[in-house]
Structure formats: structure tokens, C-alpha cells
Chain A
Amino acid sequence: MKRRTLIKQLAFVSGSLVLIPACMEDRSKASMLLKNISIGGDEEMMMADLGETIIPKTETPGAKDIGAHLFALMMVDDCYKAADQQKFVAGLKAFEVKTKNQFSKSFSKCSIEERETLLNELEAKKKDISDLQYFYINTKRLVIQAYTTSKFYLSEVQVYKLVPGKFYGCVPLNKAS
């Protein structure tokens, strides 16, 4: 991608981006208003780093750039049933405990390698129904949703056209793109 396009995109990726610095100053509170779940500033930062581990910034925007962790928290807060919200928050705590037990520090302080070790473990446990696994699977799903419905993704990766115009019913795949 051209550098200029990238800068332009980063400027508009998400209005919620401007909220992030706020939580850096006061780590006891989340940067966004949550109605149903209680998430602290540290936990929000952990979510941001977890999101970034799932979809990292490369030469193109990653999860943090598009505010995927804020989207995930907002969706859990607004669109999950109360029981699922509790499971999610319990899983989030369990994730923090596991990280501390394994590496004696928070996820945000973990190295890239340590973060990947944790996620590899969770990826391997497909059938686990623990709160921790629920938290991981749902965070990942929501981060992917945020990413694949972001302006960057729908403008640069899989292009969404608001006004597609003519519909071609049947086109050989080598000509379809």
C-alpha cells in the first residue's frame, strides 16, 4: 500500500481512537461508557493487546488501529445476554490470572513470544467450555468482525461497493476480479 493512502486511512479508521489516550492516564477506568459490564483501564489495555496479537499491525492497520477492542467491549455490553456477559467477564479475569501464573506479569507486559504461547494454548483447546475459552473465542470473533467490517478492510482488502451498479450473473473466476 502507498504510504500516503495508509496515513489517510489511519486518520479515519475510527472515531473511538481518540479515546485511547484517556485510558493511559487513568488506568482504573475504561475509556468508554459501558452500561452492563465493568471493565477497568488495565483490562481495556489487555483487550487492546490481545486484539493486536490476534490481528497485528503490519504494513497495514492492525486491531488497535481500528479500535477492535473497543468494538468488542461495546458489543459484549450491548448485544450479549446478561449470562453471556458474566461468562465473558469471568473469562477475562481467568485469562489475566492464567497470564500472571504463567509469566508473573500482565498480558500487556508480556513479550510477543509469551503472548503467542498463551494464544497457541487457547487455540488448541477447541472443545473446552470454560469461561476462559469462551472469553478467548468471543474476543477473537469480535476482533475479526471489527476488522472485516472496518473501513480499511472493506476499502482495501475485500472491497465493498455501496453502489455496485450493473450485476453480472455468471463470470469466469479469472475475470471476476
Chain B
Amino acid sequence: MAENTFDAIVIGSGMSGGWAAKEFTGKGLKTLVLERGRDVKHLKDYPTTNMMPWEFEHRGQIPVAIKDANPVISRCYAFKEDAMHFFVKDTEHPYLQEKPFDWIRGYQVGGKSLMWARHTQRWSQYDFEAPKRDGYVVDWPIRYNDLSDWYSYVEKFAGISGNKDGLSQLPDGEFLPPHELNCVEEYFKNTITKKYKDRPVITARMAHLTEPQPIHIEQGRAQCQNRVICQRGCPFGGYFSSNASTLPWAAKTGNLTMITNAVVQQILYDEATGKATGVRVVDAITKESTDYLAPVIFVNAGAINTNLILLNSISNRFPNGLGNDNGLLGKYVAFHNYRGRVFGKFNQLTDSNSVGRSPSGAYIPRFRNVFTKEADFLGGYASLFVAQRSLKMNTIGFGNKLKEQLAAKDLKDWAVSAMFMGETIPKASNQITLDKLNKDEWGMPLINFNVGYDDNDEKMLADFFAQMTEMFTTAGFTDIETKDSKQAPGLDIHEMGGVRMGSDPETSLLNKWNQLHQCKNVFVTDGACMTSTATQNPSLTYMALTARAVDYAVEELKNKNI
């Protein structure tokens, strides 16, 4: 058994699992990382990264046979010919949908950190206080001050670009230089900031190395070259991923053991000690079962799969899932509402354009219900604003004339769009359960989603349409159109909750250190831990929570408290 015993076990190697691995190994703990998918090595396993557009057989498009067989993943914006090998296909890992939920997954080393959208904002004091102030879900057991130093800690290592904007509703971080906005994004920023005192528009903050520091060079990463094909994996390590950053760093310590194709079935619990002893793993290929032991276990399987593992960890003491005495495990699942877009055109500033490509854009921090509750809905929304010009491409006619038209450099006027990123309010009825009758080929019960929108989501979306239409009109944009995609929850790829944090074991699963109230050597620091969702892209917060929780766990181990 000795070879199966470690100082720490981390389930999952994605955004937060990578951080847990880096922190544990950095503190000298022999750490086992279990990844249910295949290995993806930085540089080596990015097969499409240097391909030119004409080298893709279907020029990026997904063949109809694949789409028809995999309707859910085919709805994901990034599921294209260049990165489809990083996404789980519906047929490979089925699940049940009592209500439609587009569950987007990446089962490989690095998880979804390979293909994420790379926007990174800190939560503010208002975000942590909102549930208590406005009376929804439960109070967060932590405040911004508990996390601010940890945000700094992870930002410095990951490399985050941005401006110091001095906004209390979106605190500044440890920033590398910001990306440049283009002419119309800059114009929109200036116009809106002047007209609305409470609606700053800023440069989006992103996990890109705009100016690598020694710590990034030491990771083997180089400056972002603005290729903007990040989803293929970056040969420069220009954006943060577990593969480019935390995992190789952890491996360098000599303390990391990574096992791939390792499907965790359950966490093993010992009633005598009241602690978890390890995990039971089934090999994805051989189906062979192995137990691994460690005094501390971090569950970073990705929000939904973290719920699955805990719900499936049944013992005499915990017949309803590990730590689930109050029956709340799998409830209060939430996400971000990404249904809305507002489009427009702008026929001014047409004597200029940008040169090159930018991964960034302008960001409008939440301005509803921030400092006080003033709207007729709970929560708020942020928005991403981008402007661009494309070639006119006159395709009328044929022959030499058409060929000449296709060579013209004439540009259209500006096209602008703003994207809705709405907070959703977690509720008990938004729940995931296990279907014990239906198991997958690794013996895991299938997950059943019962997660949907509510009236609050509709009100908030209507407000976004109204406010953004007004802001676009103010800016002089024309042809303004609002579009509700009506997409199912999930396509935002910000699923959260089910194992929420809170101070009271009666109403929450995790304490302020992301530790299961009732099984203190098990920690959850991925999206499953989120008590509320705010409007920020969540990954940066998972990273900070993870680093903080590992630091605490190691202290507790030393002091023999867990």
C-alpha cells in the first residue's frame, strides 16, 4: 500500500486542481493528482497550434455527422475543427437533463484551463456582502479582505493584464500592462464614462502575459503574441493554463505524481477516525480499481463532477453523500446567464482601424445593485463590449471582376456588440441528482440536471437590453438590435455551487476554509464551493480560494488538526 500512499491527493488537474498541485508540492508534500482524462503536455500535445486556416480540412467547420451525434457540445462557441479534440463529446459521456443544460467539459490534463476565455476579475467586498444585504441564499463566510492577498498571490504567478482603474466594485490587482482598446472601444469608454457617473467602462483584465516578469520566464512562458487562437494551446505560454504554468511548476519540485485516465468513484471514509482516508479510482481504460490514500484530499473535479463524487461517496455515516447531513449537497447550483447580446453599427471614426489582433476588449463592470439594492431584481450583470471592422467583400457577379472585388481592402463601418453576463440566484430547486439506475461504463451514476432560469433572470435580461440600448444610443450607434439566444444554462461554462460555503453546518457544506464541515480533511475549491455567483468570470477566484485553502490545510496537517 505504501506506493499508493501520498501526503495529499488532488482530484482534477484543471484550473483549480493545477493550483492545488502547485501549492502542495511547493510546500514539500508528496502530491498525487488524479486526472480522469488523457495527458496533454504543454507544447507537445497542441496538434493544431501552428496550423494555418487553409490547413483545416473544413476550414474550421464541424462536419454534420459529428454535430448531429453531439448536439450539446456542438452549441459551444469554441467547439470548432481547431480545438474539438479538447472537448468531451456528448456520446462519450452521457448525462440526463430533466431540464436542458448544456454541460461543456474538457476531460484531459489541464481540463478547461486550456480552452477558457481568460477573463479574470476580482470579486469586490460588495459581491461577498450582497447575499446577506439583499437577503438571498446564505451569507458568505468570507469577505474580500480574506481573499485580497491571495488574489495578489495568484495574479503575480498567473500573469494578469489590466489597468489600475481604482474601482471599489472591481478591485485592482497585480497587473501587467493592459491590452490596447481599439478606436471605437476607446470612444465608447470615454463617452459612457462621461455620461454615466456610475458606469465606468474599462479595458478587460485577462490572463495574458503582456509583459512577462521573471516568474513567468521561469515557468518557460513568453510574451503573448496576439495570435488569438488560444483554444488550440499556446506555443508561447502567452495565456495562463495549468498545462503551461502550475502543473510543470509542480512537477519540477519532484513531489508530483500525476495519474491520468483515473476516474475517481468515491472518497473513502473511516468512521473510527471521522476522516476521509483516500479515494477509490477506476482506470478509464482497463477498468481496474485502485485505492489511493492520503491525509488530505482536495476535490477539484469541476463543479458538477465534484458534486458527483461527493454524492457518490456513500458510507454508513454518510448515506446521502460525504458531508451531506443537511441534504443540501447538489442543491443551489447556479451559473451565469449569457443569453443576451446587443448589436449596433457605428458610421463614425471610419478613417481608422486597428492593426493586428487583440484577445481583449472593453469591460463594463456591474452597475446594478452594487452599492445598494435599487433594481427590481436581485443581483447584477457585467458586459463585454467589442467593436470591429471587417472587409466589405463584395461577392456580386463572377469572373475577373469578382476576383478583383475579393482583393479590395475596403472596410465596412464599425460593428459593435455588448454581451450580457448575468448573475443567477442559487436556489434549492436548481439541483443536480444522481440517477442510480443509470451508470456509465466506469460505474458512476449518471448526473441528472434540474437547473433552469427564473423570473429574476428574465427581469435582469430585460434591464440589460434597456440599459445597453440607451448606452448605445448615447454613443451614437445605429441599427441597434437586441438578441436573446434563449440558450439553455451551461453554455456560459460557469456552472457553480452544489457544495456551497457558509458559516452554519445546517445551511452549508463547506466552512470558510473550503473544508467540509463534517469531514475536515476534505476540501472543495472549484466552482462547486460558490455560495453566490456575482458577475465576474470565476476562475481567478477559484485560484485564490485554492491557494488559500492549501495554505490552511498544510498548517492544519502540521498541527495535527486534520
Which of chain A's residues has its CB closest to B63's CB?
A78
Chain B residues within 8 Å of chain A by Cβ, number: 44
A residues 118-171 with Cβ under 8 Å of B?
119, 123, 140-141, 144-145, 147-151, 153-154, 157-158, 160-171
CB of B77 within 8 A of chain A?
A: no
**Contact (Cβ within 8 A) A176 B352:** yes
A148 CA / B59 CA spacing, docked (Å): 11
A131 CA / B352 CA spacing, docked (Å): 43
A165 CA / B58 CA spacing, docked (Å): 27
Of A56, A157, A160, A171, which one neighbours B53 at CB under 8 angstroms?
A160
- Among A151, A158, A169, find the residue whose CB has the most chain B CB atoms closer than 10 A: A169
CB of B7 within 8 A of chain A?
A: no
Q: Which of chain A's residues have a CB closer than 8 A to the CB of B182?
A: 169-170
Chain A residues within 8 Å of chain B by Cβ, number: 45
Stretch at the interface among B354-362, B375-383, B429-437: B354-362
A152 CA / B124 CA spacing, docked (Å): 50
Q: B317 to nearest A CB, angstroms?
A: 54
**Contact (Cβ within 8 A) A148 B406:** yes
Q: Which of chain A's residues have a CB closer than 8 A to the CB of B400?
A: 56, 58
CB of B272 within 8 A of chain A?
A: no
**Contact (Cβ within 8 A) A116 B354:** no
Q: A70 to nearest B CB, angstroms?
A: 11
A48-73 CB contact bits vs B (8 Å, 1 = yes)? 00000111101010100000000000
Q: Which of chain A's residues have a CB closer than 8 A to the CB of B441?
A: none
CB of A101 within 8 A of chain B?
A: no
Which of chain A's residues has its CB closest to B397's CB?
A123
CB of A34 within 8 A of chain B?
A: no
B166-195 CB contact bits vs A (8 Å, 1 = yes)? 000000000000011111011000000000
CB of A111 within 8 A of chain B?
A: no
Q: B110 to nearest A CB, angstroms?
A: 22
Of B63, B179, B227, B398, which one neighbours A79 at CB under 8 angstroms?
B63
CB of A172 within 8 A of chain B?
A: yes
A54 CA / B403 CA spacing, docked (Å): 8
Q: Given A149-B53, A149-B54, A150-B54, are A165 and B356 neighbors across the interface (CB < 8 Å)?
A: yes
A150 CA / B226 CA spacing, docked (Å): 22
**Contact (Cβ within 8 A) B52 A56:** no
Q: Given A147-B406, A154-B52, are A116 and B352 neighbors across the interface (CB < 8 Å)?
A: no
Of A56, A144, A160, A169, which one neighbours B406 at CB under 8 angstroms?
A144
Q: Which of chain B's residues have a CB closer than 8 A to the CB of A149?
A: 53-54, 59
**Contact (Cβ within 8 A) A171 B357:** no
**Contact (Cβ within 8 A) A167 B398:** no
Q: Which of chain B's residues have a CB closer than 8 A to the CB of A158?
A: 391, 407, 409
Which of chain A's residues has its CB closest to B409's CB?
A177
CB of B1 within 8 A of chain A?
A: no
Q: Which of chain B's residues have a CB closer than 8 A to the CB of A55?
A: 398-399, 402-403, 406
**A residues neighboring B (CB under 8 Å):** 53-56, 58, 60, 62, 74-75, 78-81, 116, 119, 123, 140-141, 144-145, 147-151, 153-154, 157-158, 160-173, 176-177
Across chains A and B, which 9 residue pairs bring their CB atoms closest together, nearest first? A169-B180, A170-B183, A167-B356, A168-B355, A78-B63, A164-B356, A167-B358, A54-B398, A169-B182
